[in-house]
Amino acid sequence: MAKITTAVLQKMKQQGDKITMLTAYDASFAKLFAEQGVDVLLIGDSLGMVLQGHSDTLPVTTADIAYHTRAVRAGAPDAFVIADMPFMSYATPEQAMQNATPLMQAGANMVKLEGGDFLLPTIKALTERGVPVCGHLGLTPQSVHLFGGFKVQGKTAEKADAMVRQALALQEAGAQLLVMECIPQPLAERITQALTIPVIGIGAGNVTDGQVLVMHDLLGISSGYIPKFSKNYLAQTGDIRSAIATYVSEVKAGIFPAKEHSFQ
């Protein structure tokens, strides 16, 4: 597949071509995903749950993310790779710059940070120094204890308005991509239309510019439960390659996520 860059992702949004993203943690799956046409690979701090067996993402370290980023880059040399910055690794702009460095050196094209207004100086500092940033609003897993669990966000008019404002502020600060997690579909549509940068949804309906899933959820092998917003493509196809190809084609066609995978 052709090399994906931020400019390519921006053009995909402008042309209405849906962006596909999956989490990846090793070279073998990264290679397979790239071969099946997945546009973006995310080294998610979800590895704390699906690889390390923790109940949340908080124990993951920058060294963990860097290790898996190197593995993913080795398997998919031309992929667009985003690395999550772990819990409390970007509490200040200085700390963010220090911790983003090993992730970019490991092969990431972009780092992802969770949060709103407090991140604006950090995003500005990173992008001014050549580190592309992906924002993350809605259900931000690193704040799970603050939310009291994994819950849908932005359900009131006041909170929805605040999220739109924060999304615009992140874009203004220099973010080039935004992930929206577990928010009502009408709010996701509002934010996607308001922003000029691509918006990637997970539990945000099929109205965003693209979709991301945790690979273990897509393959139905997550321990515990499969989230409402996910779909077991391995059960549907019986083959891992076919599962990934079907996910890509259904996202591109706007078939996934369907109504049952979304919050109204």
Whether 231 has a binding-site annotation, put simply, is no
Write out the DSSP string of 101-117.
HHHHHTT-SEEEEE-SG
- Do 134 and 113 touch, CB atoms closer than 8 A? yes
Q: What are phi and psi of 202, to 5 degrees?
A: -145, 110
Distance separating alpha carbons of residues 160 and 198, to the nearest angstrom: 19
* Active-site amino acid positions: 181
Whether 84 has a binding-site annotation, put simply, is yes
The first and second tokens of residue 176, run together, are 């080039």
The first and second tokens of residue 228, run together, are 């409402």
pTM for this model (two decimals): 0.95
Q: What are phi and psi of 99, to 5 degrees?
A: -85, -20
The topology under which CATH files domain 6-261 is: TIM Barrel (3.20.20)
The first and second tokens of residue 81, run together, are 């790779």
Hey, how many other C-beta atoms are within 10 angstroms of the C-beta on 14? 11
Whether 112 has a binding-site annotation, put simply, is yes
Measure Cα distances from 212 to 162, 218, 229, 235 in Å: 23, 10, 10, 19
In sequence order, the 6+-apart residues with CB closer than 8 A to the CB of 247 are 20, 22, 213, 218, 231, 233, 256
- Do 121 and 90 touch, CB atoms closer than 8 A? no
**How does pLDDT run along the chain (264 residues), one tens digit per residue?**
678 999 999 999 999 999 999 999 999 999 999 999 999 999 999 999 999 999 889 999 999 999 999 999 999 999 999 999 999 999 999 999 999 999 999 999 999 999 999 999 999 999 999 999 999 999 877 776 564 555 678 789 999 999 999 999 999 999 999 999 999 999 999 999 999 999 999 999 999 999 999 999 999 998 766 788 889 999 999 999 999 999 999 999 999 998 888 887
Token pair 């139905």: residue: 220
Whether 114 has a binding-site annotation, put simply, is yes
